[in-house]
Amino acid sequence: MAKPFTSLGHKVTLTLARTAAVIEHRFEETFREHGITATQFNVLRILRGAGAEGLCRNEIGERMVRRVPDVTRLLDRLEAETLIVRERTGEDRRFVSTRITRKGLTLLERVDPDVRAFEEEMVQHMSQERLTALVTLLDELRSGRHTDS
Protein backbone atom coordinates (compact mmCIF):
# COMPACT_ATOMS: atom_id res chain seq x y z
CA MET A 1 0.00 0.00 0.00
CA ALA A 2 1.54 3.33 -1.09
CA LYS A 3 -0.30 5.46 1.47
CA PRO A 4 -0.83 4.54 5.11
CA PHE A 5 -4.31 4.01 6.45
CA THR A 6 -5.95 7.23 7.57
CA SER A 7 -6.90 5.66 10.93
CA LEU A 8 -7.14 2.36 12.74
CA GLY A 9 -10.87 2.39 11.98
CA HIS A 10 -10.02 2.70 8.27
CA LYS A 11 -7.62 -0.25 8.51
CA VAL A 12 -10.21 -2.37 10.35
CA THR A 13 -13.05 -1.68 7.91
CA LEU A 14 -10.85 -2.24 4.85
CA THR A 15 -9.42 -5.46 6.30
CA LEU A 16 -12.91 -6.74 7.10
CA ALA A 17 -14.15 -5.84 3.61
CA ARG A 18 -11.21 -7.64 1.97
CA THR A 19 -11.70 -10.71 4.17
CA ALA A 20 -15.44 -10.79 3.41
CA ALA A 21 -14.69 -10.51 -0.32
CA VAL A 22 -12.27 -13.47 -0.18
CA ILE A 23 -14.84 -15.59 1.65
CA GLU A 24 -17.67 -14.53 -0.65
CA HIS A 25 -15.65 -15.26 -3.79
CA ARG A 26 -14.76 -18.75 -2.57
CA PHE A 27 -18.37 -19.50 -1.61
CA GLU A 28 -19.60 -18.26 -5.01
CA GLU A 29 -17.18 -20.67 -6.72
CA THR A 30 -18.49 -23.53 -4.59
CA PHE A 31 -22.14 -22.67 -5.24
CA ARG A 32 -21.55 -22.15 -8.97
CA GLU A 33 -20.40 -25.79 -9.17
CA HIS A 34 -23.86 -26.74 -7.87
CA GLY A 35 -25.77 -24.33 -10.13
CA ILE A 36 -26.87 -21.82 -7.48
CA THR A 37 -25.73 -18.49 -6.06
CA ALA A 38 -24.75 -17.67 -2.49
CA THR A 39 -28.01 -15.76 -2.09
CA GLN A 40 -30.05 -18.74 -3.29
CA PHE A 41 -28.12 -21.02 -0.94
CA ASN A 42 -28.88 -18.63 1.92
CA VAL A 43 -32.63 -18.78 1.17
CA LEU A 44 -32.60 -22.57 0.94
CA ARG A 45 -30.80 -22.85 4.30
CA ILE A 46 -33.28 -20.45 5.88
CA LEU A 47 -36.20 -22.51 4.58
CA ARG A 48 -34.63 -25.79 5.66
CA GLY A 49 -34.37 -24.34 9.16
CA ALA A 50 -37.97 -23.15 9.07
CA GLY A 51 -39.27 -26.71 8.69
CA ALA A 52 -42.64 -27.76 7.33
CA GLU A 53 -44.33 -24.48 8.30
CA GLY A 54 -42.20 -22.47 5.91
CA LEU A 55 -41.92 -18.68 6.02
CA CYS A 56 -43.44 -15.72 4.28
CA ARG A 57 -41.38 -13.55 1.92
CA ASN A 58 -40.76 -10.83 4.52
CA GLU A 59 -39.52 -13.32 7.12
CA ILE A 60 -37.09 -14.77 4.59
CA GLY A 61 -35.81 -11.31 3.69
CA GLU A 62 -35.25 -10.41 7.34
CA ARG A 63 -33.19 -13.55 7.99
CA MET A 64 -30.89 -13.26 4.99
CA VAL A 65 -27.18 -12.67 5.53
CA ARG A 66 -27.10 -10.11 2.72
CA ARG A 67 -30.24 -8.09 2.08
CA VAL A 68 -31.53 -8.14 -1.49
CA PRO A 69 -33.88 -5.57 -3.00
CA ASP A 70 -36.29 -8.04 -4.59
CA VAL A 71 -36.91 -11.19 -2.54
CA THR A 72 -39.95 -12.00 -4.69
CA ARG A 73 -37.86 -12.30 -7.85
CA LEU A 74 -35.32 -14.45 -6.01
CA LEU A 75 -38.11 -16.76 -4.85
CA ASP A 76 -39.53 -16.83 -8.40
CA ARG A 77 -36.21 -18.21 -9.67
CA LEU A 78 -36.01 -20.84 -6.93
CA GLU A 79 -39.60 -21.86 -7.59
CA ALA A 80 -38.93 -22.15 -11.34
CA GLU A 81 -36.14 -24.61 -10.46
CA THR A 82 -38.61 -26.47 -8.18
CA LEU A 83 -36.30 -25.91 -5.19
CA ILE A 84 -39.11 -24.21 -3.26
CA VAL A 85 -42.88 -24.14 -3.32
CA ARG A 86 -45.16 -21.25 -2.39
CA GLU A 87 -48.80 -21.49 -1.45
CA ARG A 88 -51.46 -19.32 0.08
CA THR A 89 -52.54 -20.53 3.49
CA GLY A 90 -55.21 -19.63 6.00
CA GLU A 91 -57.91 -17.05 5.72
CA ASP A 92 -55.64 -14.18 4.70
CA ARG A 93 -55.10 -14.76 0.97
CA ARG A 94 -52.24 -12.26 1.01
CA PHE A 95 -50.14 -14.57 3.20
CA VAL A 96 -48.01 -16.87 1.07
CA SER A 97 -46.01 -19.57 2.81
CA THR A 98 -42.72 -20.60 1.19
CA ARG A 99 -41.23 -24.04 1.86
CA ILE A 100 -38.21 -25.91 0.60
CA THR A 101 -38.94 -28.94 -1.60
CA ARG A 102 -37.36 -32.38 -1.52
CA LYS A 103 -35.27 -31.30 -4.52
CA GLY A 104 -34.07 -28.25 -2.57
CA LEU A 105 -33.16 -30.40 0.44
CA THR A 106 -31.27 -32.82 -1.79
CA LEU A 107 -29.32 -29.94 -3.32
CA LEU A 108 -28.36 -28.70 0.15
CA GLU A 109 -27.23 -32.21 1.10
CA ARG A 110 -24.83 -32.11 -1.88
CA VAL A 111 -23.59 -28.57 -1.16
CA ASP A 112 -23.22 -28.79 2.63
CA PRO A 113 -20.05 -30.93 2.67
CA ASP A 114 -18.27 -28.47 0.34
CA VAL A 115 -19.33 -25.54 2.52
CA ARG A 116 -18.19 -27.26 5.71
CA ALA A 117 -14.86 -28.22 4.12
CA PHE A 118 -14.21 -24.61 3.10
CA GLU A 119 -15.23 -23.28 6.52
CA GLU A 120 -12.81 -25.67 8.21
CA GLU A 121 -10.03 -24.94 5.73
CA MET A 122 -10.45 -21.21 6.32
CA VAL A 123 -9.89 -21.44 10.08
CA GLN A 124 -7.73 -24.54 10.49
CA HIS A 125 -4.62 -22.51 11.35
CA MET A 126 -6.30 -20.74 14.27
CA SER A 127 -6.87 -22.04 17.81
CA GLN A 128 -10.35 -22.47 19.26
CA GLU A 129 -9.59 -19.67 21.73
CA ARG A 130 -8.63 -17.22 18.98
CA LEU A 131 -11.67 -18.16 16.89
CA THR A 132 -13.97 -17.67 19.88
CA ALA A 133 -12.35 -14.29 20.56
CA LEU A 134 -12.76 -13.33 16.90
CA VAL A 135 -16.47 -14.16 16.94
CA THR A 136 -16.88 -12.13 20.14
CA LEU A 137 -15.04 -9.15 18.66
CA LEU A 138 -17.03 -9.26 15.42
CA ASP A 139 -20.30 -9.47 17.35
CA GLU A 140 -19.18 -6.48 19.41
CA LEU A 141 -18.21 -4.53 16.31
CA ARG A 142 -21.58 -5.22 14.64
CA SER A 143 -23.61 -4.36 17.72
CA GLY A 144 -21.69 -1.14 18.42
CA ARG A 145 -21.30 -1.86 22.11
CA HIS A 146 -18.70 -3.52 24.30
CA THR A 147 -19.38 -7.00 25.62
CA ASP A 148 -17.51 -8.47 28.58
CA SER A 149 -16.47 -12.05 28.17
Give the domain CATH number at 70: 1.10.10.10
pLDDT digits (tens, 9 = 90+) for 68-126: 889 999 999 999 999 999 998 766 666 789 999 999 999 999 999 999 999 999 999 99
The whole-chain average pLDDT of the chain stands at 91
Task: Count the neighbouring beta carbons within 10 Å of the beta carbon of residue 121.
Answer: 10
Residue 148 banded pLDDT, cuts 50, 70, 90: low
| Total domains in the fold of the chain | 1
pLDDT digits (tens, 9 = 90+) for 53-64: 899 999 999 999
Each residue of 11-37: b (16+ CB within 10 Å) or e? eeeeeeeeeeeeeeeebeebbeeeebe
Helix (H), strand (E) at residue 99: strand 96-100
Phi, psi of 108 (to 5 degrees): -60, -35
Residue 8 lies in a domain: no
For the chain, first and last CA: distance in Å? 35
Residue 9 lies in a domain: no
Enclosing domain of residue 24? 14-143
pTM for the full model?
0.84
Residue 6 lies in a domain: no
Determine the pLDDT at residue 112: 96
Residue 110 lies in a domain: yes
Residue 51 lies in a domain: yes
Residue 7 banded pLDDT, cuts 50, 70, 90: very high
Determine the pLDDT at residue 1: 57
Residue 3 lies in a domain: no
Determine the pLDDT at residue 138: 92
Residue 97 lies in a domain: yes
Residue 26 lies in a domain: yes
Task: Using the predicted structure, report yes or no on whether residue 13 has a pLDDT greater than 60.
Answer: yes
